[in-house]
């Protein structure tokens, strides 16, 4: 396998993008990434998107985006893995370059969720239809079950969940591409509208439009382009049970634990060596559980760590410096690509007010549903 680097990044603003189509926003992000990389062509492309057919009535996204990007006849493939679609798209790009099949590949993600009023139902198509959705539960409800189990098992408090949202809004306020750039207080979180007990509106990631893209290239190409050398040090993708009830525990995500083990082994690093990490905080409880499953905190200690501020930009374990899904926004197909853009900026020293000092090794963790799919990458500045 060859060494692989990320050499260009581009994303749209995340939020409610009225007046722009799915194609418009993907092309905007893809052109920004291509221009940023300096390459004059791409060999192939992958488009991560969860459900563009149901959100906006458009499928066949590989071909559609290649056409509007004016790069036909290159191979162009749509990848779907629910909220992990972008991560899975990037992994295919990484494998294609690592294998030597291509030198320069675009990995992008896109979703336009605000054009339909049925967002919750569309998102719920990623859960188990027969055993979960048929009985009326959707993602806020599923994560609420996880939150209740965690709070019961580890005596975690409402304040501790709120601390995640407060920190991520503080980081999002420093991110020009974030959907929500307003800081919030714990009291605002704990008095916001109840969505699925104990999760309130400000515990949830929002409904978002957005697109993001990166250019993935062989290290030889990266060196010729004289870019900051940001190497993909490890890549792993795992699956887990689709329904929560099939799991032994609601307070750990086996797909995340396994993917983390694989990436740590492949990269030859331990959790302590990761300087900055973007995780899938679709709900506040998700960030807490994932921060434990990635090995950053002991089981049951993630909530306390959030409350103590140990995951803030200034502390040893900065999590979601971009604002996370919570504040930056969660256009599902684009989410993971935006995570890698944050890590690329952190490792390149270009994250501005969000910069983590001396960040050299970064990680992204992205999952579909309640962890039925998970994609993790570790990147390194060399
Ligand atoms: N965070 C912060 N503010 C939010 C928000 C969020 N998640 N969701 C909505 N808002 C704000 C809106 O901007 C609006 O503010 P305004 O009154 O100043 O304009 C206000 O709250 C009400 O917005 P509205 O669109 O009416 O909210 P809603 O009740 O329709 O939706 C949620 C709120 C939480 C239900 C929705 O954001 C949601 O479903 N989130 C989860 C998405 C999800 O499940 N993703 C997949 C995860 S696996």
Same domain, 219 and 240: no
Query: Which residues, given as ranges, of the chain have pLDDT below 70?
Result: none
CA of 195 to the centre of ligand 1 (A): 10
Q: Which of 29, 356, 334, 322 is nearest to 178 (CA)?
A: 322
Q: Which residue CA neighbors atom 21 of ligand 1 most closely?
A: 201
Q: How many helices (H) and strands (E) does the chain have?
A: 14, 11
What span, in angstroms and rounded, lies between the C-alpha atoms of 302 and 293?
A: 9
Which residues, 6+ apart, have CB-to-CB distance to 379 below 8 Å? 6, 230, 231, 232, 233, 340, 343, 344, 347, 361, 362, 363, 364
Q: Is 90 inside a domain boundary?
A: yes
HSE toward the beta carbon, residue 380, CA cutoff 13 A:
16
DSSP 8-state symbol, 324? H
- Supply the range of the domain harboring residue 267: 136-198+233-381
Same domain, 19 and 57: yes
Same domain, 85 and 162: no
What's the pLDDT at 276? 98
Same domain, 246 and 369: yes
What's the pLDDT at 228? 81
Same domain, 245 and 182: yes
Question: Measured on CA atoms in the order 272, 178, 86, 222, is the torsion positive or negative?
Answer: negative
What's the pLDDT at 57? 96
Q: Is 348 inside a domain boundary?
A: yes
Q: Is 125 inside a domain boundary?
A: no
Same domain, 225 and 102: yes
Which residues, 6+ apart, have CB-to-CB distance to 187 below 8 Å? none
Q: Is 213 inside a domain boundary?
A: yes
Q: Which of 327, 119, 339, 84 is nearest to 207 (CA)?
A: 119
> Residue 275 maps to which CATH number?
3.40.47.10
Q: Is 375 inside a domain boundary?
A: yes
What span, in angstroms and rounded, lies between the C-alpha atoms of 330 and 123?
A: 12
Regarding pTM above 0.95, the answer is: yes
Per residue in 282-322, pLDDT (tens digit) is 999 999 999 999 999 999 999 999 999 999 999 999 999 99
Q: Indicate if ligand 1 lies below 6 Å from the C-beta of 206.
A: yes
Q: Count of domains in the chain?
A: 2
What's the pLDDT at 226? 74
CA of 318 to the centre of ligand 1 (A): 25
Same domain, 211 and 262: no
Same domain, 220 and 325: no
Q: Is 124 inside a domain boundary?
A: no
């Amino acid at each position: 396998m060859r060494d692989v680097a990320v050499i260009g990044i581009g994303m749209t603003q995340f939020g409610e993008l009225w007046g722009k189509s799915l194609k418009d926003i993907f092309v905007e992000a893809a052109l920004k990434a291509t221009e940023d990389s300096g390459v004059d062509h791409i060999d192939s492309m992958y488009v991560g998107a969860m459900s563009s057919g149901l959100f906006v009535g458009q499928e066949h996204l590989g071909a559609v985006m290649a056409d509007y990007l004016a790069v036909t006849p290159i191979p162009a493939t749509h990848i779907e893995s629910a909220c992990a679609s972008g991560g899975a798209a990037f992994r295919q790009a990484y494998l294609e370059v690592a294998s030597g099949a291509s030198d320069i590949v675009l990995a992008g993600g896109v979703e336009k969720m605000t054009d339909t009023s049925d967002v919750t139902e569309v998102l719920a198509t990623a859960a188990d239809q027969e055993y979960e959705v048929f009985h009326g539960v959707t993602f806020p409800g599923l994560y609420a079950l996880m939150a209740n189990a965690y709070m019961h098992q580890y005596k975690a408090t409402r304040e501790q969940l709120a601390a995640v949202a407060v920190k991520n809004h503080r980081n999002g306020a420093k991110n020009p591409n974030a959907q929500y750039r307003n800081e919030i207080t714990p009291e605002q979180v704990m008095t916001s509208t109840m969505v699925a007990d104990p999760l309130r509106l400000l515990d949830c990631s929002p409904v978002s439009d957005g697109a993001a893209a990166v250019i993935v290239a062989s290290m030889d190409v990266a060196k010729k382009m004289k870019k900051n050398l940001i190497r993909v040090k490890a890549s792993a993708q795992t699956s887990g049970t689709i329904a929560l009830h099939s799991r032994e525990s609601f307070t750990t995500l086996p797909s995340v634990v396994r993917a983390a083990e694989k990436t740590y082994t492949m990269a030859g690093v331990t959790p302590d060596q990761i300087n900055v990490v973007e995780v899938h905080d679709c709900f506040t409880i998700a960030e807490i559980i994932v921060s434990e499953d990635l090995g950053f905190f002991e089981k049951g200690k993630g909530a306390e760590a959030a409350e103590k501020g140990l995951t803030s930009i200034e502390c040893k374990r900065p999590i979601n410096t971009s604002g996370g899904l919570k504040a930056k926004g969660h256009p599902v197909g684009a989410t993971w690509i935006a995570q890698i853009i944050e890590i690329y900026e952190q490792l390149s020293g270009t994250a501005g007010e969000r910069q983590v000092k001396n960040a050299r090794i970064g990680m992204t963790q992205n999952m579909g549903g309640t962890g039925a799919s998970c994609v993790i990458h570790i990147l390194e500045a060399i």
